[in-house]
Each structure stands twice: as C-alpha cells, then as structure tokens.
Amino acid sequence: MSDTMQSWDPRGAVVSSHLDIASALLPLKDSEILSLAVGAGDIAPAIAAAVKSATVTVLETQGATDDPPPLSNLTYKSGGADRIPAEDDSFDIVIVNGFLSRIPEDRRSPVLREMRRVLRPGGLAYIAEPAPGGAFNEITRVFKDEKQDRLAAFDLIRGTVSSGAMALVAQKFFQMPVVIADFAAVERGYLPPDARLSGAQKADAQKKFERHMGPKGAAFQIPTRVDLLRKSD
C-alpha cells in the first residue's frame, strides 16, 4: 500500500482547521493521547479544550511551552522524542505535527520506533507535515529551505508502511488557514531551531510576510499532509 502514498496531492485538498481534520480522522473521545510538541504547530491544547473526555499529554521536546492553558485533561512533560518517558502500550493516539522533518535525520527512525512502542495495539499515529509550496513556505525558506527534509521524512514514513512495522490507514491533504499576528511570531513559533539569518535575509523574509498583512495579521493557507498509521493488534 505504500506505493500509493503521495507526499502531496492538491486534488480535493479542502481548506480546513487542523482540529477539524484531527477530529474527523481520530477517535478522540475517551482516548489517551500523546503529542510531540514543536512550536506553534502543537494542536494538543485545542484537542484537550474541545474533547473533555480525552486525556492529553504533551511531550515538550524543545523546551517549556509559554503559558500553557489551564485544562484539567492536559499535562506537559519534558523529554526526548527518541526516548519517550512512558511505558510500552501507554497511549491510544500519538500526534506529531511538523516534527519529523525538523529533527536530525539520524533521530527520525528512533522517534518512529518510540511512537510505535508507546502506542497500544491498534493505536494510531497521526503524523502531519507541511507540504512544499505555498506563500508561507516562500517566507520560511528564506531562513531554511526544508523541502528535502520534508521529503526525507515522508520517505521514512512510507518505508515504515512498506516494511510492515505499521499499517497505513489514510492520507489526508488539506490547506490549513493560519493568521499570524506579526513577523516576530514567525520567528518564535514557525522556524526550525537551527535557522539562522543575516540582516539582509531577515529583511527579505519580513518584506514577504508584510505583503500578507491585514487588520488582524497576515493570513496564509499552509498545504499540509497527514499520514495516519496503525500499530498492529
């Protein structure tokens, strides 16, 4: 089935919030969920707020989250995604959003193995990655062009399916609407940790960003792919 997987398919790629996509693909009610957090991409707080019966744990892999929402079903822990501090078969769902492509290549396979380890039999791995292209990508690629990293992460996911380690349940392609208040928010939450800019590069990126500014901020639609995998029973 892995030979039918695609890194991006614009046909039928609806404009939708990430929460709506996750809600349609995942049995969130009464589930124990682990989210590997990365910057502004973490959707765990939105899930915890929308689905009170879900128990959500966020593993902060890149430092503490600023002012996490005070939700009784949302917990934050520190740790590495390639050594998740949890027992085997601990979670029904593991959510990873924009994470695999942003970690060093030699850590990606260990992270996938750890995701599989902590999932219960029949559990689901929800792996979301931005697809190359789009106006927002034209801004972030000034900092660092992530196209090859994103394609390499996709190839690893496809290899996981072809090896039989996990089964493909579905792929979903959508355009995620995002409104970003200012350019400083891009630097805080949307860039890879190793991104470095000269003054000229930063000015170029900021100029491109400000072309999209409106009364409430800069509006974008980010092409996004979800690979939904299942651990065998």
- Write down the residue that tokens 């929308």 correspond to: 50
pLDDT tens-digit profile of 22-59? Answer: 999 999 999 999 999 666 667 999 999 999 999 999 99
pLDDT tens-digit profile of 62-104? Answer: 655 566 678 999 998 888 899 999 999 999 999 999 889 988 8
43 class by beta-carbon count within 10 Å (0-12 exposed, 13-18 middle, 19+ buried):
buried
- Class of the CATH domain delimited by 2-135+144-175+224-230: alpha beta
The CA-CA-CA angle for residues 67, 213, 64, to 5°, reads 20
Indicate if the pLDDT at residue 192 is higher than 80: no
- Top mean-pLDDT range of 51-55, 105-109, 134-138: 51-55
Instruction: Report the first-to-last Cα separation within the chain, whole angstroms.
Output: 18
111 pLDDT band, cuts 50/70/90, is: very high
Q: List the domain boundaries for the chain.
A: 2-135+144-175+224-230
